[in-house]
Structure 1
């Protein structure tokens, strides 16, 4: 077939993501913190944008203020002239002297507040402080620093003694295994107990050493000789292997349970994450009022100065490059302000639809939470499911029943023999209540929970019960059973 060149016309429709549409989609799925950071950056980069407040008035020139200043009437006292005739140092001198308090005008030598701020010491700082306070040779102190640097946040050693010795070889220092073992022995006697061990059994034995538990104690034997059986809670098999009665194991088991399995837990420096809701749902009478939370977000507006500047440049017909620059910045600012307004409107529509469809939950509690998927809200407000998904992502709603992620209200339903479908969250709550009220010595298995729920008309399979139990972090019936 011969190759030839030709022109042809083709008519087609396709979706084009304009910059404004891309920006609106990007803003829609942002959290409050991300949005605040973006707006602050836009204010810095775009000179046309400025932060304003509601009811802000134009500044009055200083000359006008001086001209409008009223003159004192006849017989009235001019306070400024009278203050000039008062010797303030002499007036306050007697009260500032001899009172025992530092004068407000006195220069202090206190350190700045930046130097006072500190963070809580973590496990590394705490162990390093004890190492430097210990009276040990400098060589052992260097090895101890290597050991402390190879501990995980729980306090367990992640490097072998051979690897620690090899670290010294890389720096030109020739450590011996005996020196490494001696440094490990020193650090294992530091606070917290059980630190710098390679695994959990070794940490438990180290804690027993610090508690001066006898070497022939039943708790030690249980950790050393029957650790696998102890982990599987097979206490009759543990008692048989140790050659003791089952009742004699109770004290040893309680002793091991009282030990710390994460020695470095109390030095965890993770700070709590506080949630700031995006939507407030307030109950006023029999109605629910939705209020968007825009506290802390800058209120953007286009600068009047740049608008007047653009009008002046247009009138003079000069500096076309400057005009184009200002036009581009104004166009970008208008897009951003419109995208923010569209974001707020979309969030409000989704929140209003959630409140309408979950009215029973707000009135009566979680037992009346109805199943709902993204399609239900999308059809209610006339938007696509992907838009609703972006809205509810990483956003929270504050109600009189607590603060919930907006995704909390979307979940599947389970069939019932009568009435409407029941929410999966309601089923999880029932499972949790059944487990809390069970006999500890005869806990309910997954099959027992399935049969109880089936008698209540909830059609659920055993594997679904096991799945919900795992999501609730509830152990199996074998692990929940109390032997003693």
Structure 2
């Protein structure tokens, strides 16, 4: 049996994404922080790119010079895209990127415990200087020290707050090191999440004595004493291993009151009973009267379950909006935030030097720089178009709040702007809009629709807002059940099942009617 060969011609269509289009799609999806990192990387890799505001610091060209420069670029026979501007001109102003905050750093060897022999324990490696100083007094990384105003404006770290209290204790060097180690092991909430045994093993691994059982017991006993000093510090509850211990430490600060004594007894019970206010089980376990139990529960609800959170670095949680919405009479002015929109241009010196040289890697890098600038401009234009379309569709939200939110899906904006749904999804991912009512992610303005008696639709966001309003207005002695809330929604013309109400209520972090009932 022989093989038969033949030669044929077939036409097919295939979509190929060019590198320029791939970069455009990727930039579209980046958040403001990721975009800033991408721009910094491009500035470092491509010598033809520079910041427009950096160039302006050297020389501010007048309009005639700019036109002349643009004309010369347009006449460049080697520039296939010379007609496009070298600067992202969509934004009229741009604020410089915020400089990274100076962070105090403890010397890596401060808690080293390299040698715990009493004669040499932490001698050269231990110091109580300012966390921004090396042992010889120089600032870390040879940087200029921060100004006193900068230091005063920054909230203290939890660890710094505790280290300052530790200075008032009369401890030897080994005890100081143990307390320092525990303080640095706290998480952002002020908890000691690692067991003392594990921390002791970590220290033992650095100890010259090695895996000596006696030394391990000594370290564990030392850490236990240090934990007692730590848990006696302010804020109350710091250094706890779990929530029950955190609450107990805070109650001990008020142990002279009857309610505090009841609260101490409650802390020994399962937290699930306390969360559910299960008075029957709590009364059976403690033998206390319901009135006393209510007083103890009321005290526990006033305590702080995360004592270290007040010292958290809030600057890391700050959201920089990509879009700004301002009210001008009855209209809304929607603009891009110039503080997060990079303004780049082609470095004129390099471009002029390359003007009479054809081909080569440098010519390709110049083309890549122009592509990057163009894609940045397209990203900004697309983001602005989508933001304005969202604001136009959700005008009632800006006028009346969440209860005025209209049903909106990605397809609605895509059809209005003539874009693909995936493009709208990329634009709304990780982008934020600052409005007179607060800062929201663009995805917040999209929500599914629920049917109404009038044949229309209600946004799920509006329904959640209505549920929150109904619960806020309920009688605390007779809170509304999920079924009753569903009936109230039906009275407003909104068909919503009980299970849907329960899902929305849980999303709002509102407890059940049993837990909301005033006792």
The answer for the alignment partner of 1:56 in structure 2 is: 61
The answer for the alignment partner of 2:77 in structure 1 is: none
- Would the aligned equivalents of 2:163 and 2:183 in 1 still touch at CA under 8 Å? yes
Q: How does 1:322-333 map to 2 (within 5 A)?
A: 323-333=359-369
Distance 2:513 2:6 in 1: 77
The answer for the alignment partner of 1:443 in structure 2 is: 479
One of 270, 276, 281 as aligned partner of 1:232: 276
One of 292, 299, 315 as aligned partner of 1:255: 299
- Would the aligned equivalents of 1:226 and 1:241 in 2 still touch at CA under 8 Å? no
The answer for the alignment partner of 1:86 in structure 2 is: none
- Give how far 1:139 is off: 3.9
Shift in alpha-carbon separation, 1:308–1:115, aligned structure 2, 3 A: closer
The answer for the alignment partner of 1:35 in structure 2 is: 35
The answer for the alignment partner of 2:427 in structure 1 is: 391
Residue 146 of structure 2: SS of its match in structure 1?
Answer: helix
The runs of 5 or more residues in structure 2 that have no matched partner are 66-142, 210-214
The answer for the alignment partner of 1:87 in structure 2 is: none
Residue 192 of structure 2: SS of its match in structure 1?
Answer: coil
Per-residue CA distance 1:126-181 (angstroms, 9 max, x = gap): 33443443223444434434433443333333333433444454322443354443
The runs of 5 or more residues in structure 1 that have no matched partner are 61-110, 314-319
The answer for the alignment partner of 1:103 in structure 2 is: none
Give yes or no for the alignment of 1:175 onto 2:217. yes
Residue 217 of structure 1: SS of its match in structure 2?
Answer: helix
- Give how far 1:282 is off: 4.6
- Give how far 1:228 is off: 4.9
The answer for the alignment partner of 1:293 in structure 2 is: 337
Higher RCO structure (Cα 8 Å, ≥6 apart): 2
Distance 2:324 2:438 in 1: 10
Per-residue CA distance 1:325-376 (angstroms, 9 max, x = gap): 4432332233223323322332233234324433444455443322111111
Shift in alpha-carbon separation, 1:197–1:277, aligned structure 2, 3 A: closer
- Give how far 1:308 is off: 4.4
Cα RMSD (Å) of the superposition? 3.4
Distance 2:158 2:301 in 1: 23
The answer for the alignment partner of 1:155 in structure 2 is: 190
Residue 414 of structure 1: SS of its match in structure 2?
Answer: strand
- Give how far 1:2 is off: 5.7
Distance 1:256 1:193 in 2: 13
Give yes or no for the alignment of 1:12 onto 2:32. no
Give yes or no for the alignment of 1:198 onto 2:233. no
The answer for the alignment partner of 1:141 in structure 2 is: 176
Residue 271 of structure 1: SS of its match in structure 2?
Answer: helix
Residue 344 of structure 2: SS of its match in structure 1?
Answer: strand
Distance 2:271 2:352 in 1: 81
The answer for the alignment partner of 1:220 in structure 2 is: 264
Aligned residues: 425
Deviates more, 1:282-291 or 1:362-371: 282-291
- Would the aligned equivalents of 2:43 and 2:50 in 1 still touch at CA under 8 Å? yes
TM-score computed with the length of structure 2 as normaliser:
0.71
Distance 1:13 1:384 in 2: 20
Give yes or no for the alignment of 1:268 onto 2:312. yes
The answer for the alignment partner of 1:24 in structure 2 is: 24
- Give how far 1:395 is off: 1.9
Distance 1:341 1:449 in 2: 48
One of 373, 381, 387 as aligned partner of 1:351: 387
Q: Which has the larger radius of gyration?
A: 1
- Would the aligned equivalents of 1:165 and 1:180 in 2 still touch at CA under 8 Å? yes
- Give how far 1:430 is off: 0.7
- Would the aligned equivalents of 1:226 and 1:238 in 2 still touch at CA under 8 Å? no
Shift in alpha-carbon separation, 1:165–1:450, aligned structure 2, 3 A: same
- Would the aligned equivalents of 2:255 and 2:261 in 1 still touch at CA under 8 Å? no
- Would the aligned equivalents of 1:168 and 1:175 in 2 still touch at CA under 8 Å? no
Distance 1:29 1:445 in 2: 42
Shift in alpha-carbon separation, 1:193–1:389, aligned structure 2, 3 A: same
Residue 268 of structure 2: SS of its match in structure 1?
Answer: helix
